[in-house]
Amino acid sequence: MTTLLIKGGRVIDPANGIDEISDVLIEDGRIAAIGKKAGKAKTTIDATGLIVCPGLIDMHVHLREPGQEWKEDIESGSRAAVAGGVTSMCCMPNTTPRLDHAGVVRQVIERAKQVGLCDVHPIGAVSRNLEGKELSEMRELVRAGAVAFSDDGMPIWHAGVMRKALEYASSFDFLVIQHAEDLELTAGGCMNEGRISTQLGVSGMPAVGEDDMVSRDIMLAKLVDARYHVAHISTQGAVELVRRAQAEGLKVSTEAAPHHFALTEEELLGFNVDAKMSPPLRTEEDRLAVIEGLRDGTISVIATDHAPHHEDDKRCGLSCAAFGIVGLESLLPVSLGLERDGVLSMSGLIATMTSNPAKLLHLEAGSLSEGAAADVCIFNPGEKWTLDRNKLFSKSRNTPWHGREMTGRVSHTLKGGRVVYQQGEILV
């Protein structure tokens, strides 16, 4: 029997309401006990001064495999994930081929198992080839391992198709995740429409291009009694729409990406392509609205929208640069700002990256319950370090946080009881 003891850390397990200085005993890859005297083990990790929590879940990443392996692949994405404390992630279907056939879904899961660092749960395509016309075989995709559905990167555009997608998915309690973007209003845009886009002389993507889509979808979700999830919410209007829908008792949920609560459109000054993503960085009012949504629970999940791009796709001027930034390795330090600013308690913050997404997606992950797989993240919430894009584990370097001081750093990541990341090194 292999045993491991994580000793003396502040153990936070939101799923079980635990927040105390304690030991965690792991036996044969599973959580055996949590307590002051949990037991003895062959190996010990001294977690004094550190926080010990369930391995993080990132329910919104782009792994680029199959099809665009020069940007990222399942191995490099998994390395980036565990370096960021993430032990389960959901990959979006806009690969080539798309995740719209069971074979491709199985292939992704299989490859992730071979890599063996991080669980990968594919999000299946809502529509065949992400074209927004015909539905994909959702039941078949779920049998293959898909945990939810989205056409992310593209909205499910036609109201009729969206209605049917919500109706069909909800018949089997599947979750539909919408990339809410009204393409007619955002056409040609490369950043938020507003003060800065006018200064730079570029076309903008107005906030209402997100709001109108969320508004329509909520009405459809109400009509057909479906579970509906807004991906990467970024506007004040959309947060308010979701808040009202939840107050009405609708099964509407949403997630926020760290960049949308940490950065604003000001980052684009100087034509900064590493601050270009969709939905774009918005105004300070929007940023504060996203934070308020996290505070009051309207937004229950933090997810990165990790979107690796090769520098050749970024080094070409703002309006033709690819949308997206990498996020796995900055997820925790950036999000910890919410705790420091008093928006969320440490336990509440960790819940947005563990128990909340697990509940939404019915994942067996995100807790330190006795008998659960020992996926654990150990981090120092106060350690300061400087993010260097040249030292990321991701294959891509497109991050707006290059050269900035981060507070909070993952020291160990455990997957199934095995230490896979420790002090800057991947252990395989």
Judged by CB, which is closer to other proteins: 17, or 201? Answer: 201
**Least distance from other proteins to the Cβ atom of residue 400, Å:** 9
How far, in Å, CA of 39 to CA of 98, rounded? 47
Question: Does the footprint of other proteins cover residue 403 (CB under 8 A)?
Answer: yes
Judged by CB, which is closer to other proteins: 64, or 276? Answer: 276
Question: Does the footprint of other proteins cover residue 206 (CB under 8 A)?
Answer: yes
Which residues have C-beta within 8 Å of that of residue 30, sequence separation ≥ 6?
A: 371, 372, 373, 374, 417
46 belongs to the catalytic site: no
SS3 content of the chain, % helix, strand, coil (to 5): 35, 25, 40
Question: Does the footprint of other proteins cover residue 262 (CB under 8 A)?
Answer: no
The owner of tokens 């019915």 is 362
How far, in Å, CA of 80 to CA of 132, rounded? 31
Pair of tokens at residue 227: 């579970």
Question: Does the footprint of other proteins cover residue 320 (CB under 8 A)?
Answer: yes
Judged by CB, which is closer to other proteins: 70, or 271? Answer: 271
Q: Positive or negative, the Cα torsion across 40, 44, 45, 49? A: positive
Question: Does the footprint of other proteins cover residue 402 (CB under 8 A)?
Answer: yes
Question: Does the footprint of other proteins cover residue 202 (CB under 8 A)?
Answer: yes
How far, in Å, CA of 139 to CA of 133, rounded? 18
Q: Quick one: which segment of 40-48, 92-100, 173-181, 317-325 binds other proteins (CB under 8 A)?
A: 317-325
Q: What region, left, alpha or beta, does residue 285 occupy, with left being phi > 0 and alpha being psi -120 to 50 degrees?
A: alpha
Judged by CB, which is closer to other proteins: 202, or 377? Answer: 202
The site for other proteins, by CB under 8 A, has a size of 28
Half-sphere exposure of 298 (CA within 13 A, CB side): 25
How far, in Å, CA of 273 to CA of 114, rounded? 34
How far, in Å, CA of 254 to CA of 252, rounded? 7
- With CB under 8 A as the contact rule, the residue among 199, 362, 370, 382 that binds other proteins is 199
Choice among 305, 313, 375, 388 that is catalytic: 305
**Least distance from other proteins to the Cβ atom of residue 197, Å:** 7
**Least distance from other proteins to the Cβ atom of residue 193, Å:** 5
- Phi, psi torsion values for 55, nearest 5 degrees: -55, 140
- With CB under 8 A as the contact rule, the residue among 39, 49, 317, 382 that binds other proteins is 317
Question: Does the footprint of other proteins cover residue 193 (CB under 8 A)?
Answer: yes
**Least distance from other proteins to the Cβ atom of residue 319, Å:** 5
Interaxial angle between packed helices 159-171 and 208-224, expressed in degrees from 0 to 180 and rounded to the nearest 10: 50
Judged by CB, which is closer to other proteins: 390, or 423? Answer: 390
- With CB under 8 A as the contact rule, the residue among 173, 405, 425, 428 that binds other proteins is 405
Question: Does the footprint of other proteins cover residue 204 (CB under 8 A)?
Answer: yes
Question: Does the footprint of other proteins cover residue 386 (CB under 8 A)?
Answer: yes
For residue 26, how far is the Cα from the chain centroid?
Answer: 27
| CB-based contact 310:70 (threshold 8 Å) | yes
The contact set with other proteins (CB under 8 A) reads 193-195, 197-204, 206, 270-272, 312, 315-320, 386, 390, 402-405
Catalytic residues: 305
